[in-house]
Amino acid sequence: MTKYDDELLDSDVRPTGNREEAQIPVGRSSRGRRRGLRNALGAIPFIAYIGVFLALPAISVITTAFQDGNGKFTLSNFNEAVHGVYFKSFVASIELSFVAALVAVVVGLLAALAVSSTTNRVVRSLVTAGSGVFANTGGVPLAFSFIATVGNFGIITKLLKSAGIDIYAHGFSLYSVTGLAIVYQYFLIPLMVLIMLPPIQAIRKEWVDASQSLGASRSQFWRWIGIPLLLPPIFAAFIVLFTDSFAAYATAQALTSGTIPLVPIQLGALISGNVLAGQTNLGDALGAGMILVVVLAGVIYATIQRRTSRWLR
């Protein structure tokens, strides 16, 4: 803090530079190299903090993944990570995240469309506030409230049973990948609504009117204007939702007590000390694998995002 304040105070001595800068149109200012350096200095505490508490741990996981127990270079950790139960957990995690994200994209999109077309102010702010709240819900409490609802002895389970429908006898289980995909909807759908509301509301009335006055039907409007406009943000949202469910740990852990074979759960078990001999750095390989999956998703996201911003000017 003190170092930072010094920097702030120091720059205060030269207010003229600031005024000069204000007159140069944004985006074309040419500053001296020393000024640039001084400006960059103010961001150091933030960058340093991220470096120590995010980059350092992440890098240490990646480098350790390539080392054996004695610190020598090896690929055996990855060899282990892409075989057997660990490989299966990667497949299961990706499957779960893919399906959960897909369902949430469809439902969330419909909900966002419904909300944007409603005239009712109360419904509108209720859904907006609700989405903001539920998108941040997750973790342990969510797992327990679903256990209370459709768990073995959940309220709805019992209600259905008394109506003659035993969902657990028909192959449903909350404590499975399917169950998780349902529970995840609780934060994925609101997230989808939050992401899609701005692009949907950016569809201007004039475009609809213009298409209509040119003789386009409602389905033609959606085919040629609506869907092409919304497709890039939908894809981007899918990636965000995928990543969100891929990294989720708390809900799955609380719901299944760590028995479900998903990557975060396996990694958590390795961290908690359930390590077999000869698997010292296996966890790091799993961690590196998780980062890789998320980064790949992020690259796709960035590519699509660039196209989206071009669409929605």
Partner 1 sequence: MATIAPDLTPSTKSNSNNSSDVLKLGRPFRYIVLTLVGLFFIVPIVSSARFSFLGNHNSFTISAYTQLFGTAQFWSTLFLSVKVGIGTVFLTLVLLIPTVVWVHVRLPKMRRIFEAISLLPLVVPSVVVTLGVITSFRGLPNIIYGTPVILSLEYVVLALPFSYRALDSSVQAIDLKTLVEAGQSLGAGWIKLLRYVLLPNIRGGIIGASILTFAFCLGEFAVASLLSFTTFPVFLVQVGQLAASQAVALSLIALLFTWIPLAVITLVFSQRRASRSIAVADE
Per CB under 8 A, contacts with partner 1 among 194-223 are: 200, 203-205, 208, 218
Q: What residues pair up with 67 in beta bridges, in sequence order?
A: 73
| 136 lies in the site for partner 1, by CB under 8 A | yes
Total site size for partner 1, rule CB under 8 A: 101
| 274 lies in the site for partner 1, by CB under 8 A | no
Q: How far apart are the first and last CA of the chain?
A: 39
Shortest separation between residue 38's beta carbon and partner 1, angstroms: 8
| 309 lies in the site for partner 1, by CB under 8 A | no
Shortest separation between residue 268's beta carbon and partner 1, angstroms: 6
Which range, of 11-19, 68-76, 161-169, 171-179, touches partner 1 by CB under 8 A? 11-19
Shortest separation between residue 269's beta carbon and partner 1, angstroms: 10
- Ramachandran area for residue 164 (φ above 0: left; ψ -120 to 50: alpha; else beta): left
Binds partner 1 (CB under 8 A): choice among 76, 116, 176, 178:
116
| C-alpha distances in Å from residue 24, one per residue of 29, 31, 35, 256, 306 | 6, 10, 15, 60, 28
Binds partner 1 (CB under 8 A): choice among 79, 137, 259, 274:
137
- Nearest-5° Cα angle at 167, 106 to 192: 20
Binds partner 1 (CB under 8 A): choice among 127, 196, 260, 304:
127
Q: Which helix (H) or strand (E) holds 119?
A: none
Closer residue to partner 1, CB minimum distance, 75 or 299:
299
Closer residue to partner 1, CB minimum distance, 232 or 281:
281
Site string for partner 1, 75-104 (x = CB under 8 A): ------------------------------
- What burial letters (b/e) apply to 223-257, b meaning 16+ CB within 10 Å? eebbeebbebbbbbbbbbbbbbbbebbebbbbbbe
Which range, of 34-42, 70-78, 81-89, 168-176, touches partner 1 by CB under 8 A? 34-42
| 71 lies in the site for partner 1, by CB under 8 A | no
**CA distance linking residue 87 with residue 263, whole number of Å:** 9
Binds partner 1 (CB under 8 A): choice among 25, 26, 73, 164:
26
User: In 10 A of CB 50, how many CB atoms?
Assistant: 11
Interface positions, 230-269, toward partner 1 (CB under 8 A): 243, 246-247, 249-250, 253-254, 257, 264, 267-268
CB 225 within 8 A of CB 202: no
**CA distance linking residue 104 with residue 5, whole number of Å:** 46
| 24 lies in the site for partner 1, by CB under 8 A | no
73 — phi, psi (to 5°)?
Answer: -65, 135
**CA distance linking residue 154 with residue 302, whole number of Å:** 42
| 144 lies in the site for partner 1, by CB under 8 A | yes
Closer residue to partner 1, CB minimum distance, 46 or 224:
46
| 56 lies in the site for partner 1, by CB under 8 A | yes
Provide the residue type at 20 as one letter.
E
